[in-house]
Structure 1
Amino acid sequence: MNETWLQERVRAPWRGFRLGLLAFPAMVLSALLMTALSLISVGIGVLLVPPLVLAVRGLLNLYRDLIGKWTGTTIQRPYLPEPETEPGLAGRGRRFSTMVSDPATWRDLGWLLADPIVVVFTAALPMYLIIYGVFGILLSLFLGRVITDAGGSDWYTFIHVTQGYADEPWRMAGTAVLGAIFIALGFVFGPNLLAAYGRWGNVLLGPTEASRLKLRVAHLTETRSDAVDTSAAELRRIERDLHDGAQARLVAMGMSLTAIEHLLDKDPEKARQLLAQTRQSSASALRELRDLVRGIHPPVLADRGLGDAVRALALDHPLSIEVTVDLPARPEPPVESAAYFAVAELLANASKHSGAGRVWIDVRHQDGMLRISVTDDGRGGASLEGGTGLRGIERRIGTFDGVLALNSPVGGPTLVTLEMPCALSWPKTSPS
């Protein structure tokens, strides 16, 4: 969050107050969920608990998003993968059992019960201090007189607002000063209390070590399956390209050479023509084989590394591309290959779908992560749900625990960021 000191203090109380407002739906959902859990013994709870748990998760995901956005504390979703929906009572029972056995469900319930109290003394407290401070200033200006003229009385901290209050300037001034102090405290300590609330959220809303391990296993299982599918599809593509391209040309060359053998004595001129055609076919077959090898693992990537390989992509691309590379050494070959083909796919997307004229590529290694950002000045509106190949890129880098982030508002620009954990263990072979 790139905010100035003043902006941070002005915005923090209002953000905390909004988080405090979420306590009201949290209390409603906690009451409903507790009621549903109490009805498990009579069977109704088995039907009521799953939809209520999903509603709770939706609300708490909103908490996680707001906490991450406003405090910088990123909270990972802790929920274990749900099984596929099955029809009938048996399917409902399994779904209920899966949700109830997930530790995150009970931690969510603990949050619903505790947060309405915790938020009052952390995130929402600065706004309450500001409101109380404004009330004190209003008391000193006119509200105190209204109260005392009506025969009432009140206390503002240790100052008694009672009959004669309006005739004692020191009490009115003291109320105004106290009010200003409360307002200042609310603004000054707002970010600190909001950050404390973020840490509290991370403790209860984030995954436990056991949940994190299970999520890790589920993620590895999924990415392993994707890697196997991708490898099988790549092998089928190579087989198809060989069969339809180089293999067909080699077969034709063999037939031509057989015909040449028979024509050497009978029709030497015809044999020379066939030899010329065979030479052209051999050059075409060699070119296709080189293209095939380049599609599997480009020689420039193997010889010169990721930085120069991306620059070569940019030179061959019709768009105007600016490449910035900051790699003190080379990533491991599998990571290099995944990153290279991801960039190639992103450039293809920019050329086909974005209407962009310029593209900026930034490749760097920082904090143990290979980070690649590709920005274009196109029309925007890209989506992971669309047919732009972004899901394929996400699956490709997911094999290496990589993540893809997309920011593409309508009207542009489009920014795609890739991150893959890797060590720079290979020496550089060329300056980048």
Structure 2
Amino acid sequence: MTVTATLDRLGVPATRGARRAVAYALAGVLPALLGVPALALLALGAALCVTRVGMPVLSLVLTGVRWLSAVHRVLLRGLLDEDVPAPPRPRPLRAAHDAVAWRCAAYVVVGAPLGVLLFAVQLPVRLYGLALLSYPVWFRAVGQNGHRGLELTGTFPLDSWPRALAVAGAGLVLLVAAGWAGRRLTALVRLLARTLLTPQRREELAERVHDLEETRALAVRDSAATLRRIERDLHDGAQARLIALGMALTRAKDALRAPEPSPADAAKARELVEQSLGTVRTALGELRDLVRGIHPPVLDKGLVPALASLRSDIESPSLRVELRTELLSGPRPPEEVETLAYFCAAELLTNAARHAHADRVVVSARAEGGARDRVLVLAVEDDGRGGAAPPPPAPGGSSGLRGLSERVRTVDGTLALDSPPGGPTTVTVRLPFAAAQPAGAQSAGAHGKTTT
């Protein structure tokens, strides 16, 4: 046994773990004391449940208790190295029906006396034991009622070496007892945290089901919006062009109906045919753009060529786009992930060009993780004016950054925005996917490292 471990056994915090346990007792006493008003508020909310305001008040108190338990969770992770996973997100005004909130409340309430007791053992009792242990050193420097040292009672002064050593022995016993009690109480805190603050399996599954319901609704809404957009583009674009083409060809036919049309009718027919050719070219262009908006054909060659094509479309004399792709060797992402990454890049580049007034944009794409938990990471950074923020949800759908965030969630992805006023703005999209194809079956355009 090392010297530091021996000192720990004797009640002197010498090892790193013992010192951090003492620090936890000091830092945790205030959150522990907050459990007392939390208990009073919980009792008040329970009493008000006979009225209509009872459940909202109780839910509000339980939501605050969850935030207080988050403070405990931070202290546990930072000082006791006890990594307690965070529970699922609370639902507004539904905390009274949430088992997680009630278990957090139980931890806060039980933690109030436990935290105070742990603080008392770790600090005042230890200090008192150290003072008793050092009594032989300083007892001659003090006096009481004409005697050196302190008095145990009015007729029993502690003024001799045997009595001073006895006091030191009592201090050593108190230190050892305080060290033992501190370790036991800290272990009890860990056990309560793992029992009450750690999300249960069924709660994780319930949250996962809720999240899947939300993402399914988002996917259905996005599909409906896409179908409406396609219908609108076909109705207002290609369909209108084809109707105009039919009318122009009908007029040309009428002009050429005579066996020997006059020069004026022939000229008119030629003009209508030329007009019809222009209408056909416009309709073909609109159909091509429509198809590209559904699934860009360049994606068939891989994400890297698709991003390079997008770069060439967006770049202009006033906007320089730098592309960095590091899609490492391995399975190619699924088609839906590549398509989503492409449209995210297109939307973010458009935002940088139109709204951020950026001069330079850097687009980077890379794959992270192993074969079973790979993540496609797309980052777009511009040197624009910054201050970007997702708009509030609007009835009937969403667009822009909020729409991207919702579309990313349909594949369990995340979108992180960092845009301080004055810039720069960085948007990071993480799209997880499970590799299903062997590395040898991939398109050559999906791999490699490119910087342009």
Q: Shared fold by TM > 0.5?
A: yes
Q: Which is further off, 379-388 or 213-222? A: 379-388
In the TM superposition, residue 75 of structure 1 has moved relative to its aligned partner by 2.9
Map 1:331-370 onto structure 2 (within 5 A).
Answer: 331-356=333-358, 357-367=360-370, 368-370=373-375
Structure 2: distance between partners of 1:64 and 1:404: 26
Structure 2: distance between partners of 1:409 and 1:69: 28
Structure 2: distance between partners of 1:371 and 1:271: 56
String of CA shifts for 1:130-181, please: whole Å, max 9, x gaps.
Answer: 9979x979x99xx968983687669xxxxxxx8799xx9xxxxxx9xxx9xx
Gaps of 5+ in 2: 1-16, 152-157, 165-170, 176-182, 394-398, 448-452
2:442 to 417, 428, 431: 428
Q: Are positions 1:324 and 2:331 aligned together?
A: no
Structure 1: distance between partners of 2:76 and 2:283: 59
Q: Are positions 1:248 and 2:262 aligned together?
A: no
Structure 1: distance between partners of 2:367 and 2:21: 33
Amino acid at match of 2:289: D
Structure 2: distance between partners of 1:199 and 1:326: 44
In the TM superposition, residue 310 of structure 1 has moved relative to its aligned partner by 2.3
Structure 1: distance between partners of 2:198 and 2:142: 51
Structure 2: distance between partners of 1:311 and 1:74: 44
Structure 2: distance between partners of 1:262 and 1:199: 91
Map 1:139-154 onto structure 2 (within 5 A).
Answer: 148=142
Amino acid at match of 2:278: Q
Q: Are positions 1:261 and 2:253 aligned together?
A: yes
In the TM superposition, residue 29 of structure 1 has moved relative to its aligned partner by 0.7
Contact 2:374 2:432 in 1 (8 A): yes
Structure 2: distance between partners of 1:164 and 1:311: 90
Aligned to 2:33: 24
Change (3 A) 1:33 1:370: same
2:64 to 51, 55, 60: 55
Gaps of 5+ in 1: 1-7, 83-94, 155-161, 169-174, 180-188
Change (3 A) 1:12 1:261: farther
Structure 2: distance between partners of 1:10 and 1:358: 49
Structure 1: distance between partners of 2:54 and 2:113: 27
In the TM superposition, residue 69 of structure 1 has moved relative to its aligned partner by 7.9
Aligned to 2:292: 294
Structure 1: distance between partners of 2:24 and 2:418: 24
Structure 2: distance between partners of 1:323 and 1:420: 17
Q: Which has the larger radius of gyration?
A: 2
Q: Are positions 1:220 and 2:212 aligned together?
A: yes
3-state secondary structure, aligned to 1:419:
strand
Structure 1: distance between partners of 2:109 and 2:311: 56
Structure 2: distance between partners of 1:243 and 1:313: 27
Q: Are positions 1:313 and 2:310 aligned together?
A: yes
Contact 1:260 1:274 in 2 (8 A): yes
Structure 1: distance between partners of 2:250 and 2:387: 58
Aligned to 1:90: none
Amino acid at match of 2:434: A
Amino acid at match of 1:430: A
Amino acid at match of 1:204: L
1:108 to 87, 104, 111: 104
In the TM superposition, residue 47 of structure 1 has moved relative to its aligned partner by 6.7
Change (3 A) 1:382 1:42: closer
In the TM superposition, residue 364 of structure 1 has moved relative to its aligned partner by 1.2
Say how many residue pairs are matched: 389
Q: Which is further off, 216-225 or 55-64? A: 55-64
Change (3 A) 1:235 1:45: closer
Change (3 A) 1:54 1:276: same
In the TM superposition, residue 24 of structure 1 has moved relative to its aligned partner by 2.0
In the TM superposition, residue 39 of structure 1 has moved relative to its aligned partner by 7.0
Q: Which is further off, 307-316 or 239-248? A: 307-316
Map 1:178-197 onto structure 2 (within 5 A).
Answer: none
1:235 to 217, 221, 227: 227
Structure 2: distance between partners of 1:242 and 1:214: 42
Structure 2: distance between partners of 1:396 and 1:100: 31
Structure 2: distance between partners of 1:153 and 1:60: 45
Contact 1:329 1:425 in 2 (8 A): yes
TM-score by length of 2: 0.68
In the TM superposition, residue 60 of structure 1 has moved relative to its aligned partner by 2.7
RMSD: 4.9
Structure 2: distance between partners of 1:10 and 1:359: 47
Q: Which is further off, 35-44 or 276-285? A: 35-44
Contact 1:307 1:325 in 2 (8 A): no
